[in-house]
Amino acid sequence: MYTNFTPDQLSQPDMDDVNDALTSCLQCGYCAEICPTYQLTGDENENSRGRVKLIKEMLEKGGRPDEKTVRHIDRCMSCLACMSTCPSFVNYMRLVDHAREYIEDNYQRPLLDRLQRWTLAKVLPNPDLFRLAINGARLVKPLAFTMPGNFRNMMDFIPDKLPPPSPNDSPQVFPAIGERKQRVALMTGCAQKALNTDINDATIRILRRHGCEVVVAEGAACCGALTYHMGKAKDSRVAAAGNIQAWMKEVNGAGLDAIVINTSGCGTVIKEYGHMFRNDALAEDAVKISSLAKDISELLSKIELGNKLKPDMRVAYHATCSLQYGQRVRFAPKKLLKKAGFTVIESRDAHTCCGSAGTYNLLQPEVSLQLKERKVKALQEGRPDAIAAGNIGCMVQIGSGTELPVVHTVELLDWVTGGPVPRALEGLEIVAVAS
C-alpha cells in the first residue's frame, strides 16, 4: 500500500512505525476471514484490511476523524487474529493503537460516551475504587432499566458478591518452599484483585512449591493495558513507568529471573514496554522488563511439576486472544493441562474471540454478546466438566453465559500439584486419584 504523508507528518512520534505498517500491507485480504467482526457483519470496513485503509486515510487527511472511521475502529477488538495470517507481518496491533490515540486526541465523542470511557479508565485500574464502585452499583442495579444503554449493560456485569481482599496481593516477599531455584516478581493486576483473588493465590502457591521466591513489588500496579487500548496513551505510560521503576528496583536489588503474569491481556502490553518507551529515558529499563515478562504457563513449562493427583476431568480450554496471538503462546497451557492428567477439549472455534477484549464487552455490547454466545456454545459442545482460560476478562465474559465452572489454568495446575480444590469446582463430583 502506498502512503502520502507529508514530511511534517512523518516527523511526528510513532509515525515511522505507522508508515512501515501501512506500506507493508498488501491489502490481500488474508486477514478478513479470521476477523470476528467481519464474520458477523460481512462489512469490508469491519475487517483488518478495511480498517487499515480507513486508518491510512484518516492519518493522511489529518484533523478531526469522521464518525464512520471512528465507529469501525471502535468495533475492532484488537484480538490480533489478523496478525497470525498476514503474509507481510504487518504489526496491526501498533497501528490500531496509534489510531485510537489519534482519535482520542482529535475527536470529541458524545457526552455519555465520554463519561463512560472516563469512568472505566479511572475505576477499573484501581482495585479499591473498583470494589467501591461495584458495591455501590449493586444498590442501584434494580434501577438499571432507567439508565442509558451502555450504562445499563455495565450493570449486567456487576457480580452478586466479591471475595474479600487477599493479603497476598500486598507488597511482600514469599520465600520458596525448600531450595530456592528462582526469584520472580508477580504482576498482581488491578481488576483481577477485586474480581477473583484465587488466581494470584494459586500462582503464589504453585511457584513457591516449585522453588520460586515470589516478590510482590512495592509500587507495581495496573499494567496500563486498559487505558492503552482506549487511546489514553498518556495515562497508560504513567502506569507502565511506575511498574518499570518498581520492578527495576528488584532487578537491581536481589535480582529477578522473571516477571510472572497470569492475566494474558496484561502480559501482551508488558512485553511491549520496550517499544512503548524506545525514545524515552526509561528505554533501557523498559527493554529489560519486557525481556523478563513471562506468562505463568511459559514459566511453568520450564519447571518439572510435581503432580500429586490425577484428575478424571474434562476441561474445555479457551485460548485467549492476547495469549495465542498477542504473545504467541499457543501450546504451553494445553500441554501443561494434559501432562497434569486433564482431558483437554479444544473447541471448533478455538481461534476466535469470546468478545471480552478488555472493555469491549462494556463499550460494544451487541457485538460482544453475539461473540460470547458463539464461543460458549462451542466450548460446551464437548460436554466438559469445566472451562479453563488464562485471562480474567475472558473468564468473566464466558462465565456470564454458562452454568459450567470457569477456572484459571493455574488454579487447576495448583490443585493437582498440592493446592486446594479451586473454589469454582467445589461441590462437583470429580474423581482424582493419587498420582
Looking at 3-17, 170-184, 373-387, which range is the least confident one? 3-17
| Same domain assignment for residues 328 and 424 | yes
Q: Are 188 and 220 in contact (CB under 8 A)?
A: yes
Q: Are 92 and 48 in contact (CB under 8 A)?
A: yes
Identify whether 161 is part of a domain.
no
| Same domain assignment for residues 380 and 330 | yes
| Same domain assignment for residues 428 and 313 | yes
| Same domain assignment for residues 121 and 189 | no
Q: Is the confidence at residue 425, as pLDDT, over 90?
A: yes
Average pLDDT, integer, range 175-180: 96
Give just the sign of the alpha carbon dihedral 13, 16, 19, 22. negative
Q: Is the confidence at residue 143, as pLDDT, over 90?
A: no
Q: What is the CATH number of the domain that holds 209?
A: 3.40.50
Identify whether 230 is part of a domain.
yes
Phi-psi region of 357 (alpha: psi -120 to 50; beta: other; left: phi over 0): left
Q: Which of 253, 279, 300 is the last residue of a domain?
A: 300
> With the CA atoms of 398, 402, 405 and 409 taken in that order, what torsion angle do they form, in degrees rounded to the nearest 10?
-30
Q: Is the confidence at residue 432, as pLDDT, over 70?
A: no
pLDDT confidence band for 141 (50 / 70 / 90): confident
87-130, pLDDT tens digit by residue? Answer: 999 999 999 999 999 999 999 999 999 999 999 999 999 999 99
Identify whether 127 is part of a domain.
yes
> What integer pLDDT is reported at residue 435 of this predicted model?
63
Q: What is the CATH number of the domain that holds 23?
A: 1.10.1060.10
Q: What percent of the chain has pLDDT over 70?
A: 99
> What integer pLDDT is reported at residue 61 of this predicted model?
95
Identify whether 162 is part of a domain.
no
| Same domain assignment for residues 216 and 243 | yes
CA distances from 258 to 66, 182, 295, 334 (A): 44, 8, 10, 21
Q: What is the CATH number of the domain that holds 338?
A: 3.40.50.1860
Using alpha carbons, select from 240, 216, 215, 261 the residue that is nearest to residue 392. Answer: 261
| Same domain assignment for residues 296 and 315 | no
Where in the sequence is the domain holding 151, given as residue range(s)?
111-156
Between 237 and 141, where is the model more confident? 237
Average pLDDT, integer, range 179-193: 95
pLDDT confidence band for 431 (50 / 70 / 90): low
371-407, pLDDT tens digit by residue? Answer: 999 999 999 999 999 999 999 999 999 999 999 999 9
SS3 265: helix
* Mean pLDDT, the chain, integer: 93
Identify whether 2 is part of a domain.
no
Query: Residues 62-67: contacts with CB within 8 Å, 24+ apart?
Result: 62/9, 63/106, 64/106, 64/107, 65/102, 65/103, 65/106, 65/107
| Same domain assignment for residues 52 and 173 | no
277-323, pLDDT tens digit by residue? Answer: 999 999 999 999 999 999 999 999 999 998 888 888 999 999 999 99
| Same domain assignment for residues 33 and 141 | no
Identify whether 1 is part of a domain.
no
Q: Which of 236, 271, 300 is the last residue of a domain?
A: 300
Residue type, 75: R
The C-alpha atoms of residue 89 and residue 28 are separated, in whole angstroms, by 12
| Same domain assignment for residues 143 and 233 | no
> What integer pLDDT is reported at residue 307 of this predicted model?
86
> What integer pLDDT is reported at residue 378 of this predicted model?
94
| Same domain assignment for residues 282 and 225 | yes
Strands 431-434, 309-312: parallel, antiparallel or unpaired by DSSP?
antiparallel
pTM above threshold 0.75: yes
255 CB burial (10 A radius; 0-12, 13-18, 19+): exposed
Between 187 and 155, where is the model more confident? 187
| Same domain assignment for residues 295 and 317 | no
Identify whether 53 is part of a domain.
yes
Count of structural domains within the chain:
4
| Same domain assignment for residues 263 and 361 | no
pLDDT confidence band for 60 (50 / 70 / 90): very high
Q: Is the confidence at residue 156, as pLDDT, over 80?
A: no
> What integer pLDDT is reported at residue 310 of this predicted model?
85
Q: Cell numbers of 249, please?
A: 528496583
Identify whether 365 is part of a domain.
yes
